[in-house]
Amino acid sequence: LLEAGFGYAFGAGDALAAQLASRRSVLALTKASPFPAAPPALARAYTKRRKDLARQLRRLKGTCSLRLNTLPLERVAEELRATHAGGAGCWVSDGVAAAWAALREAGELFVFELFEGDELAGLDVAHLAGGCIYVATRCGKRRPGAALGSPGFLLASATCAWLPGR
């Protein structure tokens, strides 16, 4: 499927999911990464985002936590569908949800969940792809009055910091 032009495809059990016209990119987030380093302008932008994130965390009243696979997949699909419900609808179909369920059963699907207090601030749905973890989709929830203005960036940063030890 990938050779035929699909941007993303995976299967689990008797379920298969494929997506057309999708561009993917990989950026090195650590110096030890086998992927190319970010160009200087992008590296400066990362530094600025990290400083903004540090400021947001200092202002945080309460706690922020990273959790793994605590939400039921039905809730994950609901959150994603609510976030990505544009004109074409969300690509998280019942078939994709079934494939994710099979991957989770096999221990190969990971839902990284970011909570601000007891409120879900964002989540990443990821699965094993070769020797890597591939983040298939993200849901970031910007809520009025929330201290975290960039829940997706914090989620990615926290996940990248947590994964190497696993």
Contact 37, 43 (CB under 8 A): yes
* Exposure b/e, 89-125, CB count within 10 A at least 16 = b: ebebeeebbbbbbebbeeebbbbbbbbbeeebbbbbb
The structure tokens listed for 57 are 């965390």
Instruction: Please write the tens of the pLDDT for every residue from 59-110.
Output: 887 888 999 999 999 999 888 888 777 656 677 888 888 888 999 999 889 9
Instruction: Please write the tens of the pLDDT for every residue from 106-127.
Output: 988 999 999 988 889 889 998 8
Write down the pTM of the prediction: 0.72
The structure tokens listed for 130 are 């070769």
The structure tokens listed for 14 are 């008797």
> Which helix or strand (DSSP H or E) is residue 91 part of?
none
